[in-house]
Chain A
């Protein structure tokens, strides 16, 4: 990085050290470096330039307001990412009742069932979560895991995941989710059979 390209942290330090218009120029330069990243991120969430511009502007304004709380425990870009991620995920959840989200219900219908007809009824919720995590990690490829997690844990719509991860296959994230569910159904069948067998052995002894 040359003399004419101070680091993000340098710009923040100068902003904090100085007052007046000069200090604002540092922040202008700092945020200017990330406008394209924030714009692309928001566009992935909305796929519509006006809404993306609104989201991006809200993110930059929030980051600017919260800059005094930035303690340099991470890079500025990571800190900005956490604001962008939270803001966009909240925006997506806020419109989760909209028609575009109806397909999510269909996806849940096809999920394998870990709970009902569970051979070991003593399993508590935490253990069930551990089993689910283990099955996801052992059965799925990395992209399938990420798509599955973003969709079911973070409520991110599939079209957003497709754009966010830049998935270029024909059906995008949906293809990964369909494949993940098929693999999980198989994994759950095997897991239940093993649990049934263990239960039988315990009862025999």
Chain B
């Protein structure tokens, strides 16, 4: 056992990270195909950096393993759901929590009244705020400005319509259906805040597969003014209509 430990140590030392090993930022450039003689020479003679590079490439390429895509989709749905919960808990308004506490409700109301009075007083003494515009002259586009309402989550059947909250300045909307890796499956336009699923779109929706969708609001000249975040949905394979 001791002999084995010594034997393993020699080989382990030989293929472990050394003081000249290059950082991940440099290996990233090698993976991206940039040529740097010094780095390339080191990597060619360093099993550790070669293994790091192989792992980085494996992570980046994200090659699907046989029969694993359903499992990956399940994990992605799990992650998305955990993320939504985290963000919704972050967004949970503090005032709602405070108002459920009896002793704090009165204090909150008083604070609100004082704040309102003060802000009215200040607003009368200041110029009206100006709408911030981007370099092109249109309002800066913000992700998450449009709230998507349906479909989302696990569904019993293929959705007939996609709904979102209307945006007053929008003249039309662009809708995209995407794979979880960001590949656009289909896109379309709508003049209002509803997008009807066409037969072509329905053919793209496979039961059991997680899909994402998002909406971009456009102004009268077709320029983007706001967009939603992406939300996911999946058709339960056993309950497909």
Binding site for B on A (CB under 8 A): 3-6, 11, 14, 18, 21-22, 24-29, 31-33, 35-44, 49, 52-53, 56-57, 60-61, 64, 73-75, 77-78, 81-82, 84-85, 105, 108-109, 111, 113-116, 125-126, 128-133, 135-137, 142, 145-146, 148-150, 152-154, 163-166
CA distance A149 to B15 in the complex (A): 6
Please count the residue pairs between chain A and chain B whose beta carbons lie under 8 angstroms apart in the complex. 217
Query: Across the interface, which residues of B come within 8 angstroms of A149, CB to CB?
Result: 15, 47-48, 50-51
Query: Across the interface, which residues of B come within 8 angstroms of A126, CB to CB?
Result: 13
Given A149-B15, A166-B58, verify A43-B47 contact (CB < 8 Å): no
> Is residue B115 contacting chain A, with contact meaning CB distance below 8 A?
no
CA distance A166 to B55 in the complex (A): 11
Query: Across the interface, which residues of B come within 8 angstroms of A154, CB to CB?
Result: 51
Partner of A146, one of B50, B60, B74: B50
- Is the CB–CB distance between B59 and A41 below 8 Å? yes
CB distance from B36 to the nearest CB of A (A): 15
Partner of B47, one of A3, A6, A136: A136
Give the size category of B's interface with A: 35 or more
CA distance A35 to B74 in the complex (A): 11
Given A116-B6, A149-B47, verify A28-B87 contact (CB < 8 Å): yes
Query: Across the interface, which residues of B come within 8 angstroms of A78, CB to CB?
Result: 24-25, 28, 56
- Is the CB–CB distance between B75 and A37 below 8 Å? no
- Is the CB–CB distance between A81 and B50 below 8 Å? no
Query: Across the interface, which residues of A come within 8 angstroms of B84, CB to CB?
Result: 28
- Is the CB–CB distance between B51 and A132 below 8 Å? no
Partner of A136, one of B8, B14, B79, B182: B14
Partner of A115, one of B7, B48, B55, B58: B7
- Is the CB–CB distance between A145 and B50 below 8 Å? yes
> Is residue B78 contacting chain A, with contact meaning CB distance below 8 A?
yes
Query: Across the interface, which residues of B come within 8 angstroms of A164, CB to CB?
Result: 55, 58
Contacts A22-B144, A166-B58 given; 19 further ones with Cβ under 8 A? A5-B182, A21-B87, A21-B91, A24-B87, A24-B91, A37-B60, A39-B72, A39-B75, A40-B62, A56-B75, A81-B60, A115-B9, A129-B16, A131-B14, A133-B14, A142-B50, A145-B50, A146-B47, A150-B54
Partner of A29, one of B48, B176, B230: B230
